Amino acid sequence: MKKFVYFVACLLVFLLIVSKNVFADLKINEIYPAPTNNEAEWVELYNDSQQIIDLSQYKLSDLTNKSLKFSQTQVDIFGFVIATSSSVLNNDTDTVFLKNTAGEIVDVATYSGNFDSTKTFASCPDGSHNWLLTTFITKNTSNNGNCPSPTPTPVQDQTPTPAPSLTPTPQPTITPTAISLEPQTIGNIFLSEVLPNPEDGNEWVELYNNNSYEVILTDWYIDDAPDSGSAPKKFSLTLSPLSYATIELSSAIFNNSGDTVRLLQPDKSELESFEYTSTTKGKSFSKQGYARDTNWCLTTPSKNLPNNSCEQTIQPINNTTTVSISPTNINSSSSNQTSFYQPQNLKEPQQLKIRLQTTRLKPTKTTSVLGETTNKDITGFLQTSKHYFWFLKITFSFNLLLSFCTLCYMIYIYHDFFKEVFKEALSFGR
């Protein structure tokens, strides 16, 4: 019985030391970048976990790595904390990073738009990464009370129901009103401009919202060529109607000698891609029009503005591009040109899906010609998954725990033996 109690005590002590922060989950919850003159700009964090989190293990900064200061040293269970700064956050577009002491990104949020002291960028509900540009400022409190929801309203239908022997009687029907938020139509979100080789600063990718209403992209991704080694960069972005917004990349992922720029949806399926074979320092690639098969060309950067005119047209890359048209029409590129299917009288973009798929042949890797999913694709996803990171951490902790407990148990069982060996060693020395 004593041995069992000793083992359990060692187990509990180790769990308290090693797994203190394994399940901690701190999230960016609200951003207020444009206060009045006598106020500080601030970012709100939310503790979506079952334990108190020590803030000395975290750092909050913007794209230029300027830090925000936490207002307290820890945040309670399901609680909120404010980090303040002065002239750090931009009033139009910026990205906020939450990192741990190892420099790993824990959470990130990108906002864009025209902000003033009446507007805030809030996650609704708390910790969901479903971002809204709103006038309901909820500093250090929950955003849930201001989340939009549909409200059905009964409407009388005055159409009578005929009956041979009865007087027609109006039949009431219930018709729900439209939701106040417009739906996201991913068919009208396009890659617009890419700067893969900047003279200074970071690489960036510009998107265009070709809808007449605001669209919020939550947990989307920017990536380079498949199986190229770089992990997809997650972002959340608000796009105003018929306007541009930019994703600033905190680290470089595009090769200057040639690469692919891909826009991925939350399930990491590809919405659109563009491939180039070389770059010019300080020059961007811009799309001339807004359709999936529109030409790209080399231009002077026009970040968050209409694209500039072409300086050099980008030629299609030989033997690497295929255009797949569902369900029956397929046109493939020849050795020197790329042919595209031109739909006639297409009223809704969602009726036809055009997907550009690129295959790169490398001596050390095997990739299917038509771009089917391979084991390498699945492995790449697992290696970049947050769940995979936690799986490794928990597995390491468990193995370390077993080793520690085994050592303690062996010392307890054989302590008499070790004592005798020690005495023999002392007597032999004398």
Chain region(s) in the chain for CATH 2.60.40.1260: 186-340+349-372
Q: Give me the CATH topology for the region 2-146.
A: Immunoglobulin-like (2.60.40)
Q: How far apart are CA 288 and CA 373, in angstroms?
A: 31
pTM of the model: 0.37
Report the percent of the chain where pLDDT is more than 90.
32
The larger pLDDT score, comparing residue 254 to residue 337, is at: 254
Q: Is the pLDDT of residue 120 over 60?
A: yes
Please, which pLDDT band fits residue 203 given cuts at 50, 70 and 90? very high
Q: Is the pLDDT of residue 102 over 70?
A: yes
Q: Is the pLDDT of residue 262 over 50?
A: yes
Cross-strand partners of 71: none
Q: Which of 24, 31, 142, 133 is nearest to 84 (CA)?
A: 31
As a whole number, mean pLDDT of residues 173-198 equals: 65
Alpha-carbon Rg for the chain, nearest whole angstrom, is 29
Please, which pLDDT band fits residue 250 given cuts at 50, 70 and 90? confident
Q: How far apart are CA 131 and CA 340, in angstroms?
A: 36
Residue 374: predicted pLDDT? 43
Query: In 50-157, which ranges are E strands?
Result: 53-54, 58-61, 67-70, 74-75, 80-85, 93-100, 105-112, 120-123, 131-134, 152-155
230: burial class by Cβ within 10 Å (0-12, 13-18, 19+)?
middle
As a whole number, mean pLDDT of residues 84-105 equals: 91
Q: How far apart are CA 162 and CA 305, in angstroms?
A: 59
Q: Quick one: tokens of 424? A: 């023999």
Residue 246: predicted pLDDT? 94
Q: Quick one: tokens of 111? A: 């906002």
Side-by-side strand order, sheet with 80-85: 105-112, 93-100, 58-61, 67-70, 80-85, 41-47, 26-32, 120-123, 131-134
Q: Is the pLDDT of residue 179 over 80?
A: no
Q: How far apart are CA 144 and CA 424, in angstroms?
A: 71
pLDDT in tens, 131-152: 888 888 999 999 888 777 654 5
DSSP string, 265-334: -TT--EEEEEEES---TT-EEEESSSSTT--EEEE---TTSPPPPPSEEPPPPTTTEEEEESSS-EEE--
Q: Which of 231, 224, 227, 222 is nearest to 266 (CA)?
A: 222
Helix H or strand E segment including 41: strand 41-47
Longest dimension (CA), the chain: 124
Residue 192 and residue 303 in contact, taking contact as beta carbons nearer than 8 Å: no
Report the 10 Å Cβ neighbour count for 294.
13
Q: How far apart are CA 63 and CA 269, in angstroms?
A: 27
Please, which pLDDT band fits residue 171 given cuts at 50, 70 and 90? low
Q: Give me the CATH topology for the region 186-340+349-372.
A: Immunoglobulin-like (2.60.40)
pLDDT in tens, 208-230: 998 878 889 999 999 999 887 78
pLDDT in tens, 47-89: 988 899 999 999 999 989 999 999 999 999 999 999 999 889 9
**For tokens 């004592």, what's the residue?**
419
Residue 196: predicted pLDDT? 93
Q: Which of 54, 34, 27, 233 is nearest to 115 (CA)?
A: 34
For 331-368, give one letter per residue: b (16+ CB within 10 A) or e: eebeeeebebeeeeeeeebeeeebbbbbebeeeeeebe
As a whole number, mean pLDDT of residues 309-318 equals: 63
Please confirm whether the linkage preceding 150 is cis (ω < 30° from 0).
no
Select the highest-mean-pLDDT range: 131-135, 270-274, 276-280: 276-280
